[in-house]
Amino acid sequence: MPPTQSSRTSRQRVKDGGTSAKSPSPRGARPSRGTVTLSDVAELAGVSSMTVSRVLNRPETVAPETVETVRKAIARTGYVPNLLAGALATTRTKLVAAIVPTISGSIFAACIQSLTDRLEVAGYQMLLGLSGYPAAREEGLLNAILSRRPDALFLTGTTHSAQSRRRLRGAKIPIVETWDLSAKPIDMAVGFSHQRVGRDAAQFLFKKGYRRFAAIGAEDERAKIRWKSYLAALTELGVDDVASITTPAPTNLWMGRDGLSKLIADGFTHGAVFCSSDALAHGVLVEAQARGLSVPGDIAVIGFGDLDFAAFTVPALTTVRIDRFAVGRLAAEAILSRLAGEPVAEKVIDVGFQIIEREST
Amino acid sequence: MPPTQSSRTSRQRVKDGGTSAKSPSPRGARPSRGTVTLSDVAELAGVSSMTVSRVLNRPETVAPETVETVRKAIARTGYVPNLLAGALATTRTKLVAAIVPTISGSIFAACIQSLTDRLEVAGYQMLLGLSGYPAAREEGLLNAILSRRPDALFLTGTTHSAQSRRRLRGAKIPIVETWDLSAKPIDMAVGFSHQRVGRDAAQFLFKKGYRRFAAIGAEDERAKIRWKSYLAALTELGVDDVASITTPAPTNLWMGRDGLSKLIADGFTHGAVFCSSDALAHGVLVEAQARGLSVPGDIAVIGFGDLDFAAFTVPALTTVRIDRFAVGRLAAEAILSRLAGEPVAEKVIDVGFQIIEREST
DNA sequence: TTGAAAGCGATACCAA
DNA sequence: TTGGTATCGCTTTCAA
């Protein structure tokens, strides 16, 4: 085992020219618990702590043999830098914080994955905050996160309290709002238009020849925008009697089954159903199957999200695909170029979406 | 807008008894960029910075009216504490770091979700590290993470390099290794036995009456333990000619399809197939269907993981369910009680698993 | 109940 | 190329 603790007591070189407290200070913070510090390394190497710092950060400014000596001392002591101290001195934490509602649903997980991957190669770490679904905790979470002085922020959605927006502006760091493009961004935005998703879905179905329509929509902030826009687009197309059902968020398959049951009870036995999520759409398919309805013959279904399972298992499900990895990747690029001082090409990046049609099988 | 920057220049109360640098220091670190600090608040409130600190941390030790005054000053300045400085002084960061291979597959996402949820109410934040699949980056990542001095660590798996293990021990913080129970933990462990999964699966299938067996296994560290243990258990049961195929990790549906194709080419046309992941198992089912084989009549399939999609969409798939949320939750509990100084009841917690049988449809 | 001084462990700047 | 010194913003300890 490398001499960590012991190197503090039994010192070969009694240099003692520094500020290192020899006598136990009568007051002040308690001595650090046996952690190896820069000056421990410096002492062992017989140089000043500044030199060690330089070896770590800009070795090219230090004489090669000094570097060698210091490197050995670092290895021998098992020194682990304290980025807290470094960050305090430089006001740069090399930390990027991300706030997402949840990570377990795999919708945001992909974003976080590509974001983290990209940031990591640039030497940044990820501070993850989960705000819960109705973004209930965002306020407090934001405070806790800003307390750690991240160099940049990745947010989900564009609806924040006035208080939050003020704090965010005050932080004066690069901020990317994702997953939505509707509002004016605080700083930068990467996402797509939920409004256009709804509209395009309506037009897509209309062009396919459907004339009877229904919708099952979650009461989630963004989901609402989608299905309301769908309804609005249908109205513009001259379709007025759209049966529509709302469900709480987050959605699941059972809500979709229930939804179709209700629609059928209301007399909707054939036509196209827009669902604000794939989970709902999936439920509709299952219910249709259970009732012996053909898809898309009797009932056509369009979902949203293109979740993994949908791609493989629900060949009859048409859905709207968002490249979730692209969201994270583009957000990372935006953050990094900002952090590098480069001007960002576009403050608002639309990743767009695709309507993936699956009818065969 | 609250007077942040301006409050630094136009001061009403020229108390000036503190250490606040009035004259621009000729050297030393550059002045912080217009951030509101504790002493700014103190100045505005007409108290010392210690008093402000107390109001923030232990308000009960401060006179009620002082608290009031200080609180107002905090609100007016929009003060955001700097936890970097606080942590440096206390050597407690209120940060828990987690290292998982990937977050986008939803296997670890659930763990992280429940871990974060539980830690958050205790006032801890999550530092997330993604090590990639062959844990290639673990070494460097670990260093970067330890540099931030987390109060505790959540790790995936129990295989770490000697270097890593040394560093981990040296960190002297609570460490939970998850997802595996086979090795002796560095500190604590929450998981299940992959060995037993393989064995139990074999016995389960044997008891169901199957006598012809095959396996499709990924070359992932833990997956290997599962299917090797499956093979070993079969040998013990007197089954020798098990057709087995390996695939690289991470697995996907197509590998499962390929796998079954190869097995069939090798003459395996009926019996039970053990797959080291649900993705593989799912692929086997699809391929079986494509070839007109009945499941589980001709081919029975058992997977591993109980992924979300499997629960809903693959009724013929029998699988091994791990309560992933429990892993995160129990890890959080272990960490928190350790952090609170309480002794941990058990250093090794087995969350177990269930074999979920789905044959009907 | 409040305040002053001395760190925590690093980096920036200037001087040698 | 190297070292000394003064911070970064906060908390701890002791004294008032």
Residue B337, classified by CB atoms within 10 Å of its CB into exposed (0-12), middle (13-18) or buried (19+), is: middle
What are φ and ψ of residue B302, in 5° steps? -125, 130
Nucleotide C6: closest residue by CA–C1': A28
Angle subtended at Cα B165 by Cα B112 and Cα B230, rounded to the nearest 5 degrees: 65
Asked if A175 and A247 sit in the same domain, the reply is no
The CATH number linked to B217 is 3.40.50.2300
* 3-state SS assignment for residue A130: strand
Q: Is the pTM of this model over 0.95?
A: no
Asked if A73 and A146 sit in the same domain, the reply is no
Contact present, B118 and B333 (Cβ < 8 Å): yes
The CA–C1' separation of B2 and C15, in angstroms, is 42
Residue where the block lists tokens 């976080």: A112
> CB count, 10 Å around CB of B121?
10
Asked if B315 and B206 sit in the same domain, the reply is yes
Look at B82 and A88 and tell me if their CB atoms are within 8 Å. Answer: yes
> CB count, 10 Å around CB of B108?
26
What are φ and ψ of residue B143, in 5° steps? -60, -45
Question: Rounded to an integer, what distance in angstroms lies between the CA atom of residue A336 and that of residue A314?
Answer: 38
Q: What is the reported pLDDT for A134? A: 66
Token pair listed for B49: 């910075």
* 3-state SS assignment for residue B247: strand
The CA–C1' separation of B85 and C1, in angstroms, is 25
- Asked whether residue B89 is domain-assigned, the answer is no
Asked if B56 and B168 sit in the same domain, the reply is no
The CA–C1' separation of A26 and D14, in angstroms, is 9
- Asked whether residue B304 is domain-assigned, the answer is yes
CA A241 to chain B, closest CA, distance in angstroms equals 32
Q: How far is CA B168 from the centre of its chain?
A: 17
- End-to-end alpha carbon distance in chain A: 64
Q: What is the reported pLDDT for A360? A: 46
Question: Rounded to an integer, what distance in angstroms lies between the CA atom of residue B243 and that of residue B269?
Answer: 11
Residues in chain A, total:
361
- Asked whether residue B360 is domain-assigned, the answer is no
Look at B313 and A309 and tell me if their CB atoms are within 8 Å. Answer: yes
* 3-state SS assignment for residue A221: helix
**Residue B77: which domain range?**
2-21+32-81
Asked if B200 and B306 sit in the same domain, the reply is yes
Number of domains chain B is built from: 3
| Rounded average pLDDT per 10-residue block, chain A, 361 residues | 32 32 36 76 95 96 95 95 97 96 84 96 96 79 96 89 90 94 87 96 96 95 93 96 92 90 95 92 86 89 76 68 94 96 87 83 41
Asked if B243 and B159 sit in the same domain, the reply is no
Q: Which nucleotides of D are covered by protein (CB under 7 A)?
A: 1-14
Look at B312 and A282 and tell me if their CB atoms are within 8 Å. Answer: yes
Query: Of B100, B119, B97, whose CA–CA distance to B109 is shortest?
Result: B100
Residues on chain A touching B113 (C-beta within 8 angstroms): 102-104, 130
The CA–C1' separation of B50 and C3, in angstroms, is 7
Q: Read out DSSP for A145-206? A: HHTT--SEEEEESS---HHHHHHHHHH-S-EEEES--SSPPSSEEEE--HHHHHHHHHHHHH
* 3-state SS assignment for residue B120: helix
- Asked whether residue B357 is domain-assigned, the answer is no
Q: Which residue of A has its CA nearest to B163?
A: A78
* CA–C1' nearest nucleotide, residue A27: D13
Q: Residue A290 contacts by C-beta under 8 Å, 6 or more apart in sequence?
A: A257
- Asked whether residue B204 is domain-assigned, the answer is yes
Q: What is the reported pLDDT for B167? A: 92
Asked if A124 and A69 sit in the same domain, the reply is no
Contact present, A132 and A101 (Cβ < 8 Å): yes
Is the previous residue joined to B250 through a cis bond, with omega within 30 degrees of 0? yes
Q: What is the reported pLDDT for A342? A: 87
Q: What is the reported pLDDT for A313? A: 53
Asked if B170 and B76 sit in the same domain, the reply is no
| Residuewise pLDDT in 10s, chain B (361 residues) | 333 333 332 222 223 333 333 333 333 333 445 689 999 999 999 999 999 999 999 999 999 999 999 999 999 999 999 999 999 999 999 999 999 989 987 689 999 999 999 999 999 999 999 998 766 788 899 999 999 999 999 998 877 888 899 999 999 999 999 998 866 899 999 999 999 999 999 999 999 999 999 999 999 888 999 999 999 999 999 999 999 999 998 888 889 999 999 999 999 999 999 999 888 988 898 888 889 898 888 999 999 987 655 455 555 678 999 999 999 999 999 999 999 988 887 889 999 999 988 764 4
CA A147 to chain B, closest CA, distance in angstroms equals 5
Question: Rounded to an integer, what distance in angstroms lies between the CA atom of residue B143 and that of residue A262?
Answer: 56
- Asked whether residue A45 is domain-assigned, the answer is yes
* CA–C1' nearest nucleotide, residue B63: C1
CA B310 to chain A, closest CA, distance in angstroms equals 8
**End-of-domain residue from the set A43, A59, A81:** A81
Q: What is the reported pLDDT for B205? A: 95
Asked if B179 and B101 sit in the same domain, the reply is yes
Token pair listed for B302: 């058992």
Residue A325 is given by DSSP the state H
Residue B213, classified by CB atoms within 10 Å of its CB into exposed (0-12), middle (13-18) or buried (19+), is: buried
Contact present, A250 and A218 (Cβ < 8 Å): yes
Asked if A117 and A258 sit in the same domain, the reply is no
**End-of-domain residue from the set A81, A102, A118:** A81
* 3-state SS assignment for residue B355: strand
Residues on chain A touching B313 (C-beta within 8 angstroms): 282, 309, 313-314
Contact present, A268 and A284 (Cβ < 8 Å): no
Asked if A139 and A63 sit in the same domain, the reply is no
The CATH number linked to B41 is 1.10.260.40
Q: Residue A84 contacts by C-beta under 8 Å, 6 or more apart in sequence?
A: B84, B87, B88, B93, B148, B149
- Asked whether residue A26 is domain-assigned, the answer is no
Asked if A109 and A174 sit in the same domain, the reply is yes
**HSE on the CB side for A145, CA within 13 Å?**
32
- Asked whether residue A62 is domain-assigned, the answer is yes
Token pair listed for A105: 């649903």
